[in-house]
Amino acid sequence: MEEFLKYEQDPNSGFPLPSALKWNCIKGAERLLQEGANPNIANMAGVPPLHYVLSDSSKDCLRPMLVLLQNGANPNLSDTEGLTPLHFIVKKNDDMLAMVFFDINEELNQLVQVDAQDKFGNTPLHLALRYDCMKLAELLLKRGVNPNLSSKEGLTSLHVICNKTDDSDLMIFLKTFFEINNERHELVEVNARDKFGQTPLQIAANNLLPDVVDVLFDQVHIKFFH
């Protein structure tokens, strides 16, 4: 790395930062950043450094994530698929990593866009629910996500929940889902329709989730009388 910096004036020429991260050369990456490397420049494949770090399942991504964020990486930058770093963290299903991500950005006075949507309209909450990352979904709800945002298929977070086929563990989360939103005074659109015109209640009924149907009926009545 010293030789590179000695003969190459521009630390952004030839993508040295992505290369350092690829080979897990954290000290080299830190040196490049100190010399002016841009932490937001994507590699030839269009992948920004922070996205690359968070998408690599073979390495511990905590330290390189911190190094990049502390040196100016944009926590809300999206890649060619519209995915932000938070989308990638959800895909890893790493609760601790998510908490550290939020904490470090708070320390840096950087607001994380929790409702960022990818090219399919999926938010991090959509992905957390789809991949059964319920602890992460709970964390996102407490961080202020909008439960009513819909994907390009018209699916809200409640639609995604009701698309499950197991009624047991789902009930515990569903109650938590409504409790957190009630505490935040966030009204959940229980009658929202997807692109096929189906409501979450109809999907739950089709998937033979009687307990979920009961909870949704209660929520419909609560909304009606308010």
Question: What pLDDT score was predicted for residue 46?
Answer: 86
Contact 104, 69 (CB under 8 A): yes
Domain boundaries, the chain: 1-113
The CATH number of domain 1-113 is 3.30.950.10: no
What pLDDT score was predicted for residue 222? 54
Predicted confidence at residue 225, as pLDDT, reads: 44
Give the pTM: 0.90
Helix/strand/coil (H/E/C) assignment for every residue in the chain: CHHHHHHCCCCCCCCHHHHHHHCCCHHHHHHHHHCCCCCCCCCCCCCCHHHHHHHCCCCCCHHHHHHHHHCCCCCCCCCCCCCCHHHHHHHHCCHHHHHHHHHHHHHCCCCCCCCCCCCCCCCHHHHHHHCCCHHHHHHHHHCCCCCCCCCCCCCCHHHHHHCCCCCHHHHHHHHHHHHHHHHCCCCCCCCCCCCCCCCHHHHHHHCCCHHHHHHHHHHHHHHHHC
Q: Which residues contact 175 (CB under 8 A, 6 or more apart)?
A: 215
Predicted pLDDT of residue 23? 80
**Which pLDDT score, from 0 to 100, does residue 35 have?**
87
Q: What is the pLDDT of residue 2?
A: 52
pLDDT along the chain (226 residues), means of 10: 53 73 86 91 89 85 95 96 98 96 98 98 98 96 98 98 82 93 94 97 93 87 52
